[in-house]
Amino acid sequence: MSKGERTRAAILDQALAMTSTDGLTGLTIGTLADRLGMSKSGLFAHFGSKEQLQAAVLERAAELFADTVVRPALAQPRGLPRVLGLFENWIAWTMDPVLPGGCPIQAASIEFDDRPGPIQDLIVKQQEDMRRVVIGAARRAVEEGHLRADLDVEQFAFEGISLCYGFTQSYRLLKNPKSEVWARNAVHGLVDRARVRQ
Amino acid sequence: MSKGERTRAAILDQALAMTSTDGLTGLTIGTLADRLGMSKSGLFAHFGSKEQLQAAVLERAAELFADTVVRPALAQPRGLPRVLGLFENWIAWTMDPVLPGGCPIQAASIEFDDRPGPIQDLIVKQQEDMRRVVIGAARRAVEEGHLRADLDVEQFAFEGISLCYGFTQSYRLLKNPKSEVWARNAVHGLVDRARVRQ
DNA sequence: TTGACAATAGTACGACCGTTCGTATTATTT
DNA sequence: AAATAATACGAACGGTCGTACTATTGTCAA
């Protein structure tokens, strides 16, 4: 790992934390450089433009999400455990102090939902990927016989993802201590209703 | 209505649209003045500070939300119709072209969930108000015998609000044409499960 | 119609934005 | 050890930000 790659990684770590609290727009090259004790221009040279910095941050965030949420869930036995693992890990991810201001991708979703361009395209792709992961896990659980054969997996994914989003708002903004219980109850209810009747 | 009050209202209308797409931080006095064909300083004089402008925008947004979502729902007969009305109107509100970029309050929620201060306080208050409205409607529906007596109304509100939030993301960012159907299915499912067994 | 005051415009400010450039320093390769 | 590439720096650019002051215009009751 060359020197450049090391600093680039350090920049992205700090940028991720900053984006988490201030958003992709609030992420500013000057203050980011200050926090890292380096010059604006030196930092800038690593990315070439602010937009490319933003894209790099989003990609780093997605990696972290994959490592923290998706991969551990997919390591579970296929079927129901994977589906539950996804939601459980997602809830834990929202509370993870590694991201001091919550999921940067979710923040960026709302920030950029009316600003077409490469950044929006990237966000949409990431969200679609996540949707596909949930749908795939649910479909697999159907095949395994854990979930009902007539389950509408797209509807299922919509509801599960919505609950994870709502949890963020309840936990991070309203700071309601019951948020976690509500979120867990909700996703478990969602999964229970999707199970085969016995 | 004096001249000043009229321009102030015009400013807030335009500011609301701008906040809807660009967020409360992206709302900028210079561009706002340009769009209204007036000077920065002339506009500025109406509010005294950007923060007060932001607060005024949020209050105007809350009024609009109350007029569009809450009041029409509360005009329905108490009990189940009111609960359903709330969710239906909320979904319609998210799609309303009056707010070209979706609900400004929801956007502000994520923008300010890590920026303590008077604006965050105001947003929290507004969200708590809305939560109370949903909880109140659900509780009333229990009293009317429409919903189960053992219903956890807080859990119910959490799930309902989460679905409305998730709908925004699915509809506005991902532009999935099935979003509306999913959202309606989800809230109707939520309500159906809360109904008394017969 | 005039006088008082509200409403708007004009101008300037310091701070910060993203970006560019030339140059110095440090790594890496030859 | 010499040559070359990678990395970082400081200074400066044109712009925009929010805000402060002063001047001008418009409104409306007496």
Q: Is the CB of A8 under 7 A from strand C?
A: no
pLDDT at A196 (0 to 100):
83
Distance CA A89, CA A72 (A): 8
Residue of B nearest to A167 (CA): B162
Q: What is the pLDDT of residues A63-113, one digit of tens each?
A: 999 999 999 999 999 999 999 999 999 999 999 988 999 999 999 999 999
The yes-or-no verdict on residue B194 having pLDDT over 70 is: yes
Going from the C-alpha of B196 to that of each of A193, B38, B79, B144, B146, the distances in angstroms are 17, 58, 12, 11, 6
Distance CA A53, CA A58 (A): 9
- Are the C-beta atoms of B11 and B43 separated by less than 8 Å? yes
| Residue A195, helix vs strand vs coil | strand
Cross-chain residue pair B166–A170, CB shorter than 8 Å: no
Compute the mean pLDDT over every residue in chain A, rounded to the nearest whole number.
Answer: 96
pLDDT at A34 (0 to 100):
97
The identity of residue A188, as a single letter, is: H
Element (H, E) at B21: helix B3-26
Q: Residue A197 has what DSSP assignment?
A: P
pLDDT at A198 (0 to 100):
64
Give the number of other CB atoms < 10 A from CB of residue B38.
15
| Residue A108, helix vs strand vs coil | helix
In A129-188, the residues whose Cβ lies within 8 Å of chain B are 131, 154-155, 158-159, 161-163, 165-170, 172-174, 178-179, 182-183, 185-186
**Mean pLDDT in residue range B132-147:** 98
Residue of B nearest to A24 (CA): B111
**Mean pLDDT in residue range B111-133:** 97
Q: Is the CB of B1 under 7 A from strand C?
A: no
Q: Residue A178 has what DSSP assignment?
A: T
The yes-or-no verdict on residue B25 having pLDDT over 90 is: yes
Residue A195 backbone dihedrals phi, psi, to 5 degrees: -75, 160
- How far does A176 lie from chain B, in Å, by closest CA? 10
Q: For tokens 């208050």, what's the residue?
A: B125
For residue B147, list its beta bridge partners. Answer: B195
**Helix axes A50-65 and A3-26, enclosed angle (nearest 10):** 100
Q: Residue B96 has what DSSP assignment?
A: -
pLDDT at B3 (0 to 100):
80
Q: Write out which nucleotides of chain D lie closer than 7 A to a protein Cβ.
A: 6-12, 16-22, 26-28
pLDDT at B154 (0 to 100):
98
What residues of chain A score a pLDDT lower than 70? Answer: 198
Helix ranges (H only) for A27-117 are: 29-36, 40-44, 50-65, 71-74, 80-95, 104-111
Spatial neighbors of A10 by CB under 8 A, at least 6 apart, are A36
| Residue B101, helix vs strand vs coil | coil
Nearest beta carbon to residue B109 from set A155, A173, A182: A173
pLDDT at B66 (0 to 100):
98
- Are the C-beta atoms of A35 and A14 separated by less than 8 Å? yes
pLDDT at B198 (0 to 100):
65
Compute the mean pLDDT over every residue in chain B, rounded to the nearest whole number.
Answer: 96
| Residue B23, helix vs strand vs coil | helix
Domains of chain B: 49-194 (1.10.357.10)
Cross-chain residue pair B162–A158, CB shorter than 8 Å: no
In B30-59, the residues whose Cβ lies within 8 Å of chain A are none
Which tokens in the block code for residue A149? Answer: 């054969």
Helix ranges (H only) for B37-170 are: 40-44, 50-65, 71-74, 80-95, 104-111, 118-143, 153-168
Q: Is the CB of A51 under 7 A from strand C?
A: yes
- How far does B19 lie from chain A, in Å, by closest CA? 11
CA dihedral B44, B46, B51, B53 (to 10 degrees): -100
